[in-house]
Amino acid sequence: MCQNRGMDFNYFLRERRPRWQRLAELLDRVDSKGLHGLNPREADELFSLYRLTSSDLNLVQTRTANPSLVDYLEGLVARAYADLVVPRKAHFFRAWWMILRNYFPAAVRSQWRAVSLSALTLVAGVIFGFAATWANPRAAAIFLPPEHLQETPRQRVAALEQLERDGNSRISTVSEHSLLTIYLFNNNIRVGALGFALGFTFGIGTVIVLFYNGAMLGSLAALYFMDGVGKFFVAWVGPHGSIELPCTVLGCAAGFMLAARQLRRGDTTMMAQIREIRPKLVDILVGSSSLLVIAGIIEGGFSQINEPTISYWFKIAVAVVLFISLLAYLFIMPAKPRPAAEAIENQVAVAQGPSGAAAREFAAP
């Protein structure tokens, strides 16, 4: 290395110039096309060259007084630092669209194990709640709040259908619809966010949230089917549930991703592993939260309209179409994963900068 040659300037230039030229070439491409213009190998190369050139700059500043070379390397490092570290102007809607169009479904597919575990836990809760209530209707009091038990399902359905015949739907004004939509959206978000946050309990809290919410749904379904109004129940829950329940599953799947990092820590810290999966966590949470907006709108409006205004079979058909469309979007539609260049930005966030460990290594006597 050059420190063993007494800082032979000509040797130093011959040895290091190719890496500087390559870095400049990659930076030119980033300036014209952005970080997305690099493939995964080039993105890794850019970050590596940035650190190595920063080391070269540190060595030149401490071992030589050549101002031209110092100026050149300072400019090169500054360009790389600006492209990798300094936040660019945010384009909210473009970033949000890229998450919904590509990164969200790609992240869901890559985490199919966590998604499957989350879905199975919810289904187990539904089956348990349904079976327990079917065997003993009094068990419903364990799963459901008192307001759901003040009248029988048949009485409730009859009252709602009478309101429809009288022209007094449950949601009679735009303002009432908006308020109910906001309330339902906040409630849906709360369940998914709680399931995600409780992933830090090694996933135990996430399992409880999923299983209990599934048991509530199963118990309520059992009451309606036992009272002969099961079709109403499916038509009532189906349109918004076809989106809401999968989003709850996805939010809790993110919690299982956190739990997996706690249980499989290896040689790195848990925070380092969380940083590694952070882009996928963000994509899943942003995507599922966005879909919950749609579920809230449907639940606050369409789901509240009953026969004879809208046929229950029509509402059930809408629910089936929505669920199949969601599955096609998440698992069939072509989707590109988040580029490796964006993972480089996460690495840089914890990097030591131009005067880091690599620079000290080259500058050592």
Number of H helices, E strands in the chain: 15, 0
- pLDDT given for residue 364 in this prediction: 35
CB atoms within 10 A of CB 235: 24
Tokens representing residue 307 in the block: 């026969």
Cα distance between residue 345 and residue 298, in whole Å:
38
Cα distance between residue 61 and residue 289, in whole Å:
50
Q: Are 115 and 250 in contact (CB under 8 A)?
A: yes
Q: Which helix (H) or strand (E) holds 235?
A: helix 230-263
Q: What is the DSSP string of 154-187?
A: HHHHHHHHHHHHTT--SS-SHHHHHHHHHHHHHH
The structure tokens 């369409």 sit at 302
Q: Which helix (H) or strand (E) holds 131?
A: helix 112-135
Q: Are 215 and 124 in contact (CB under 8 A)?
A: no
Q: Strand ranges (DSSP E) for the chain?
A: none
Q: Are 187 and 243 in contact (CB under 8 A)?
A: no
In angstroms, how far is CA 20 from the centroid of its own chain? 37
CB atoms within 10 A of CB 324: 11
- pLDDT given for residue 325 in this prediction: 96
R_g over Cα of the chain = 28
Q: Are 108 and 330 in contact (CB under 8 A)?
A: yes
CA distances (Å), 215 to each of 198, 240, 259, in order? Answer: 18, 18, 23
Side-chain half-sphere CA neighbours of 326 within 13 A: 24
One pLDDT digit (tens) per residue for the chain, 365 residues: 444 444 577 788 888 889 999 998 988 888 887 777 777 788 888 888 988 998 888 888 877 767 888 888 888 888 888 777 654 555 678 788 889 999 999 999 999 999 999 999 999 999 999 999 999 999 888 988 887 778 888 988 888 888 888 776 655 544 544 444 454 455 667 777 888 889 889 999 999 999 998 998 899 899 999 999 999 999 998 999 999 999 999 999 999 999 988 887 666 677 777 777 888 998 999 999 889 888 888 887 888 888 888 999 999 999 999 999 999 999 999 998 876 545 444 444 433 333 333 333 333 33
Cα distance between residue 264 and residue 260, in whole Å:
6
Q: Are 270 and 262 in contact (CB under 8 A)?
A: yes
